[in-house]
């Protein structure tokens, strides 16, 4: 379960981590947010949205779970890069970050060790 530390707001009930190379490559293409509500990509500072049909929200976080960059409604067929401090990306359904009020500098609780 992922929560916003500042407010305690629930970000994701059933996050999934994409650790294996195939899971990382496929991302949310095969089953976008069906059995999970967030995809964590550890050891990752950039993502692409090639072949996606709908937008995503992205949160680039550092090793302490601090949000370093957000992208709301990341559209298809684009690349998105996080800052140097980022060591993971959380992909969420579009509208999640705005709806909860996640901002740069917020800490996300419930993440596994990222570094």
Question: What are the structural domains, with CATH classification, of the chain?
Answer: 2-109 (2.60.120.1140)
Let me know: does 45 contact 87? Beta carbons within 8 Å.
yes
- 3 state SS of 68: strand
pLDDT tens digits, 92-102: 999 999 999 99
Say if pTM beats, i.e. exceeds, 0.85. yes
Let me know: does 80 contact 47? Beta carbons within 8 Å.
yes
- 3 state SS of 67: strand
Decide which of 19 and 34 is more confident. Answer: 19
Let me know: does 68 contact 62? Beta carbons within 8 Å.
yes
| Lowest-pLDDT choice from 25-39, 79-93, 97-111 | 25-39
pLDDT band at 30 (very low <50, low <70, confident <90, very high): low
């Amino acid at each position: 379960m992922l929560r916003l530390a500042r407010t305690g707001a629930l970000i994701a009930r059933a996050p999934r981590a994409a650790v294996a190379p195939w899971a990382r490559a496929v991302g949310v293409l095969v089953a976008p947010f069906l059995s999970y509500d967030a995809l964590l990509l550890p050891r990752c500072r950039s993502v692409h949205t090639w072949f996606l049909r709908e937008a995503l929200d992205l949160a680039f976080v550092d090793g302490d779970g601090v949000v370093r960059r957000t992208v709301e409604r990341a559209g298809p067929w684009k690349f998105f890069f996080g800052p140097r401090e980022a060591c993971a990306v959380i992909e969420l359904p579009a509208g999640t970050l705005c709806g909860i009020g996640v901002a740069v500098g917020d800490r996300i609780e419930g993440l596994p060790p990222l570094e």
